[in-house]
Amino acid sequence: MSSPQWLVDRRSAAVQTDQFAMPSSEEEVWRYSRVADVDLSQWAIVSDRSEGVPAEASALLESLGQLSGAVVVRNGAVVASRLDDALSAKGVYVGSLVDGPDAQNSLGVVADGGPDVFGRLNDANFLDGVLVHVPAGVTVESPIAIIDWIDIGGSAVYPRLVIRVGADADVRVLDWHGSADVAAFVSPLVELDVDRAGRLSYGNVQLRGPRVWQIASQVSRVLNDGTLTASHAGLGCDYGRMRTDCELLGRGATGNLSAVYFGTGSQTLDFRTFQHHAAPDTNSNLLFKGAVGGQSRSIYTGLIRVEKDARGTNAFQTNRNLKLSDTAWAESVPNLEIETNDVKCSHASTVGPVDEEQVFYLESRGVPTEIAERLIVAGFFDEVLEEFPVATAVPLIAAAIDERLDAGVNS
């Protein structure tokens, strides 16, 4: 399938205007990262279209129960999509971006070329994009699921997802990132666009294989009285990075951001968040909770920025970490930049072991120490998982956490 000329021109412009110089870990936003180990020359950009739905993707969709629509992306190419007829008749679209409504003006509206060089690499190299478009006033009752699957070893894949939610529309979307046991480099770019009084609940699960490197960006724009709820589960990859930029651009806009993550072995899980308040009476609430065992590492750095015109802002940022072994490491750096008065802002972070008093309490009631610690770690994530946008995905996330606990926190 050939690309339309406007997309060919966009890709060509991205290549011509940027040299794709790799960032340095000396830069604040890349501090503590493993970006110095990224060598793009060892990965072959996927240019041929994969076909067929992987069995793993079919099983995932089956386990998610009733869905309004679904898309399967394999190695960057859309291989299947479906949508309830009643929603299609209302103007809802779920499928390949280039075939969607107003495709040219949907791509890049929020992220343009992305927040860094990897976003621009995505702009130049994505094979297919996925578009979820919900027109003004439409409520989508059941979730929409996107399964993004990688199974070509040695590949570089650049998935692209655009979700556009019209004024007073409402939708829940699950974006599942999985893979076979292959070595690959993946750099997704997600654009979330919420119009006036629109409501988008977006859940992302990163469960790539242990030899995948993923550097992802999620950029959102929320207009007047719109609400974005974005939740992430980061469990897979050798190195898994997620940058989240939430732009609150209209009066009364709200952004709720949350994540759970669990590192084992020699994994590195890396999170950078930006809560940008550019309009009055905007609200954001961030809660990221993680655990690290074995020799794994986690990084969290976050910034709340309140512009001078954003009076009446309420912004909160919390990062909690459990350190489950002596050789694990967690870094947590929250930040505030406030340019006006009449705001309520706070940030908090903790890094520490499992609470000994909680362990003692369970032991005193006959629970063995190992099981007590396991129960505490599993319960640590409940606060986030209970609010995950797609409830049928939660047992799958919990099962993945249980697998890591089964392996032992020191492994």
Say if CB 87 and CB 141 are below 8 A apart: no
SS3 state of residue 61:
helix
**Domain assignment present for 362:** no
Q: What is the pLDDT of residue 410?
A: 59
Instruction: Say which DSSP state 304 is in.
Output: E
**Domain assignment present for 371:** no
Burial of 341 (0-12, 13-18, 19+ CB in 10 A): exposed
Question: What torsion, rounded to 10 degrees, do the Cα atoms 307, 308, 309, 313 define?
Answer: 60
* pLDDT tens series, the chain, 411 aa: 678 898 888 888 887 655 678 899 989 899 999 999 999 999 999 988 999 999 999 999 999 999 999 999 999 999 999 999 999 999 999 999 999 999 998 999 998 878 899 999 999 999 999 999 999 999 999 999 999 999 999 999 999 999 999 999 999 999 999 999 999 999 999 999 999 999 999 999 999 999 999 999 999 999 999 999 999 999 999 999 999 999 999 999 999 999 999 999 999 999 999 999 999 999 999 999 999 999 999 999 999 999 999 999 999 999 999 999 999 999 999 999 999 999 999 999 999 999 989 999 999 999 998 899 899 999 999 999 999 999 999 999 999 999 999 876 655
Q: What is the pLDDT of residue 19?
A: 61
**Domain assignment present for 257:** yes
Query: How far, CA to CA in Å, does 223 sit from each of 102, 164, 246, 279?
Result: 20, 12, 11, 9
Residues 44, 14: Cα–Cα separation, whole Å? 19
Residues 370, 317: Cα–Cα separation, whole Å? 32
**Domain assignment present for 151:** yes
**Domain assignment present for 389:** no
Q: Which residues contact 103 (CB under 8 A, 6 or more apart)?
A: 4, 97, 131
**Domain assignment present for 397:** no
Position 98, amino acid? V
Residues 266, 403: Cα–Cα separation, whole Å? 16
Q: What is the pLDDT of residue 409?
A: 61
Give the strand pairing for 129-134 and 93-96: antiparallel
Rounded to whole angstroms, the maximal C-alpha distance in the chain is 69
Which residue has 């409940």 as its token pair? 382
**Domain assignment present for 370:** no
Strand segments (E) across 208-253:
212-222, 227-234, 239-248
Query: How far, CA to CA in Å, does 29 sit from each of 95, 173, 243, 319?
Result: 33, 28, 9, 17
How many structural domains comprise the chain?
1
Which residues constitute the domain of residue 120?
5-354
For the record, the structure tokens of 161 come out as 């997802």
Residues 189, 100: Cα–Cα separation, whole Å? 18
Burial of 34 (0-12, 13-18, 19+ CB in 10 A): middle
Q: What is the pLDDT of residue 84?
A: 99
**Domain assignment present for 369:** no
Query: What is the total residue count of the chain?
Result: 411
User: Where do the H-state alpha helices sit in 319-381?
Assistant: 356-363, 369-380
